[in-house]
Structure formats: C-alpha cells, structure tokens
C-alpha cells in the first residue's frame, strides 16, 4: 500500500526551522566530538567555545623563512585571469582599465640644464576585450619600472607601453606622466631669480597600433579686465575718482599633439610660447619696483578670457612641431562669484561634444 504525504513538497516555516535549530543545539550540547563529526562537523558551530573538529589549526606567526617556489606560485588563485563566466555586469569592451597615480622618480632632459630627476605620477591603462575578465594591474607597474632607470623621453614611454601591451595581450594602451617642472624666472626690475613650477603631463596614446604623443601644460597668469580698466580710467578722468581695475589669477591648460617625426618640443619651448602669447605670468620674486612693473605690464595687456584662448592659439599655430591642440582658459574672477572660461580646439584630436563636469575646478592653482 502506498502512503501519499501531502506535505512532502511544502516549504518549512520559520517557526519550524527555529524548533529544529533548538533541537539540534540541545543534541549537540550533549553529544561527543565523535558523534558530531559523524553527523556533520559544522554542527560544532552551534555550541559556543567548540571548534569545528576538521578545521586546521592556523599559525599566527609570520613565516619569515617561507619561499614561494614556482610550483607554489602556480597554485595561487588568479581571479582576474579567470574564464569569461566570471564576468559581472554587461559583457562589453572596456576602453581603458589600469592604475593611476603610482609615483616614482624619473629623469627628464631639459633644454639647457642637463637632466632633472622629478617625482612623477604615472597613469597606465590598456583596453580590455569584452570576453576577458580583467587584467593583472601590477604588470603595468613592472613594465614601467623596467624602463624607468633610463633618462626619460617619449621613446622610453613607447618602450614601456609596448611591454605592457604585450604582457597584458591588449590592443590599445595609454601612459600619462604628470610632474612639476621647475624653471628659473627673473623678476621684472629688481633682477632677482626664483623658481617657477609648471604642471606638465606627457601622454602617449596608442590606438589600433597608431601612437599619438601629447604634451599638457598649466600656465598661470594674471588677467586684467579690459572693461574694468576703461571704467576705472573714466572715473579718474571724468570725476577725479580713484578706481582700480580688477585682475585675477588665471590658468590656461594647453594641450598639444606633437607632429610625428618633428623636432623636439622642449618643456621650456612650450612655456616660452605661452609667455609670448600672454606675458602677464604670475611672479616668483617681487620687490616694490617689481610690483609696480607688474601693474604696468597688466595695464599694457588687458585681456578677456576669449582673448586669452585666441592669443594662445595664435602662438601655437606658428610652431611646426605642434599639430592639433586645445586651449582651456579659466579667469577666476575677483569681481564675480563665478569664473569666466573658454575652450578652443584645433583639429580632431581634442574635439569633443561633452566636457568633464569637474574640468574647470581642476584649473584652480595656488589655493
């Protein structure tokens, strides 16, 4: 005779589970270790102070003498290089994945004063195909360190990029190196020298096997408002009223694509181009005669943010070593509670319909 139990497929209720758990705890509390192990070693977790009998005792002492041989290293799990089945989220190509802001000392050539060793922040990324889980990011650092002892140039960046493209089996890659470049600057009238520091970045982008070399510079200058200057002079002339035009610290981020096979564009060359375009660069060493000279220099070069973008563009267009470029100018107003900004691009390299929402906030210097 067959007996049919109508409750066989029914899900147990929480109350039933709680009664079962209480029953197991009562039994495990009185059972021996052997009885628990025979039924299920995990039951010992139900009894406070009782260890799971088949779990190994772990050492709490750091093993100074342990050496990881090849066989041991081969046994280590590597989830980033796991199968595509481990991918989480949309199975889509990632254009760039890697590391940002790992720092090391790098030597750079200068135009006239030999080599300089500067602390450099490096960003290294590669593309990741849709069917690959991830990359081993430490390989980017290892590839870069393998070339970092050499005096640096775009050729050495190219070698580092080629190495980690090969190591990571990727088709596109990018390296960017950011550093602060010191250059001696003479005061306007007192003859004193001081170091001005310029934020530079060297970027090498390789897409479909085609390399693109880009140099970025933040140039900091003073901008006197032409309108404010004329209004101040009007008050003096018409009413004998003392008035001062407003000026403010301003920043231009200059990005230039270097022409393939062209002569070297030195860091100092790009700085000189900016000084020629907008000579009211902020000063390092200042005595009273320098301060007066700076006021005169600003009055001789009043400038709206639109003027700044076009003056920088005019200077960049004259240099055959420079191809496409972008000028982003920010005049951080002393009159208004907002800033005046402009963006001018030449060529396809920097053309974009969208801007980073935080772009202009990154142009604030010296605060």
pTM for this predicted structure: 0.80
How many angstroms separate the CA atoms of 146 and 285, rounded? 40
Taking alpha carbons only, the member of 202, 149, 160 closest to residue 179 is 202
**367 class by beta-carbon count within 10 Å (0-12 exposed, 13-18 middle, 19+ buried):** exposed
State mean pLDDT over 291-302. Answer: 97
How many angstroms separate the CA atoms of 226 and 106, rounded? 43
pLDDT tens track for 175-195: 999 999 999 999 999 999 999
Q: Which is higher by pLDDT, 187 or 9? A: 187
- Quote the tokens at residue 70: 């090849």
State mean pLDDT over 160-164. Answer: 83
Q: Would you place residue 159 in the very low, low, confident or very high pLDDT band (cuts 50, 70, 90)?
A: confident
Is the dihedral angle over the CA atoms 260, 263, 267, 269 positive or is it negative?
Answer: negative
Q: Would you place residue 224 in the very low, low, confident or very high pLDDT band (cuts 50, 70, 90)?
A: very high
- 200 strand-pairing partners: 179, 217
Cβ within 8 Å of residue 329, ≥6 positions away: 250, 251, 252, 253, 305, 308, 309, 312, 341, 342, 343
Indicate the range of 20-29, 227-236, 273-282 predicted with least confidence: 20-29
Q: Would you place residue 35 in the very low, low, confident or very high pLDDT band (cuts 50, 70, 90)?
A: confident
Residue 48 has pLDDT above 90, yes or no: no
State mean pLDDT over 143-167. Answer: 82
What is the model's pLDDT at position 251?
97
What is the model's pLDDT at position 366?
62
pLDDT tens track for 120-131: 999 988 888 888
- Quote the tokens at residue 307: 């003027």
The residue length of the chain stands at 367
> What mean pLDDT value characterizes the chain?
88
Residue 169, φ and ψ in degrees, nearest 5: 50, 55
Q: Are 214 and 205 in contact (CB under 8 A)?
A: yes
Residue 316 has pLDDT above 80, yes or no: yes
Taking alpha carbons only, the member of 272, 257, 268 closest to residue 321 is 257
Residue 122, φ and ψ in degrees, nearest 5: -115, 135
What is the model's pLDDT at position 167?
77
pLDDT tens track for 201-222: 999 999 888 999 999 999 999 9
State mean pLDDT over 62-76. Answer: 91
Q: Which is higher by pLDDT, 25 or 313? A: 313
How many angstroms separate the CA atoms of 219 and 251, rounded? 6
The angle at the Cα of 145, spanning 143 to 149, to the nearest 5 degrees, equals: 130
What is the model's pLDDT at position 1?
52
Looking at the chain, the whole-number percentage of residues with pLDDT higher than 90 is: 54
Residue 269 has pLDDT above 90, yes or no: yes
What is the model's pLDDT at position 57?
66
Q: Would you place residue 274 in the very low, low, confident or very high pLDDT band (cuts 50, 70, 90)?
A: very high
Q: How many CB atoms lie within 10 A of CB 171?
A: 14
Q: Would you place residue 171 in the very low, low, confident or very high pLDDT band (cuts 50, 70, 90)?
A: confident
Cβ within 8 Å of residue 5, ≥6 positions away: none
What is the model's pLDDT at position 254?
98
What is the model's pLDDT at position 47?
67
């Amino acid at each position: 005779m067959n007996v049919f139990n109508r409750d066989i497929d029914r899900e147990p209720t929480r109350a039933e589970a709680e009664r079962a758990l209480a029953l197991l705890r009562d039994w495990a509390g009185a059972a021996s270790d052997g009885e628990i192990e025979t039924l299920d070693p995990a039951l010992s977790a139900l009894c406070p102070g009782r260890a799971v009998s088949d779990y190994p005792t772990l050492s709490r002492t750091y093993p100074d003498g342990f050496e990881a041989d090849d066989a041991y290293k081969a046994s280590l799990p590597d989830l980033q290089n796991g199968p595509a089945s481990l991918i989480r989220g949309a199975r889509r190509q990632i254009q760039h994945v890697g590391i940002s802001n790992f720092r090391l000392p790098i030597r750079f050539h200068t135009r006239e004063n030999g080599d300089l060793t500067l602390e450099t922040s490096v960003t290294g990324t590669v593309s990741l195909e849709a069917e690959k889980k991830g990359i081993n990011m430490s390989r980017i650092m290892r590839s870069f360190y393998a070339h970092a002892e050499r005096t640096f140039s775009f050729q050495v960046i190219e070698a580092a990029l080629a190495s980690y493209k090969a190591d990571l089996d990727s088709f596109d890659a990018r390296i960017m190196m950011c550093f602060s470049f010191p250059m001696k600057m003479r005061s306007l009238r007192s003859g004193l020298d001081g170091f001005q520091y310029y934020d530079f970045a060297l970027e090498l982008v390789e897409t479909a096997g085609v390399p693109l070399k880009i140099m970025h510079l933040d140039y900091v200058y003073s901008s006197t408002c032409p309108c404010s200057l004329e209004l101040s002079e009007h008050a003096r002339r018409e009413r004998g009223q003392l008035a001062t035009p407003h000026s403010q610290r301003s920043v231009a981020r200059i990005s230039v694509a270097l022409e393939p096979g062209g002569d070297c564009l030195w860091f100092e060359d790009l700085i000189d181009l900016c000084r020629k375009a907008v000579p009211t660069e902020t000063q390092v060493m200042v005595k009273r005669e320098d301060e007066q000279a700076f006021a005169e220099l600003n009055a001789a070069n009043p400038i709206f943010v639109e003027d700044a973008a076009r003056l920088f563009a005019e200077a960049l267009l004259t240099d055959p070593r420079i191809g496409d470029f972008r000028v982003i100018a920010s005049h951080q107003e002393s009159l208004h509670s907002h800033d005046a900004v402009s963006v001018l691009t030449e060529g396809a390299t920097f053309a974009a319909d969208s801007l980073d929402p935080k772009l202009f906030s990154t142009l604030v210097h010296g605060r």
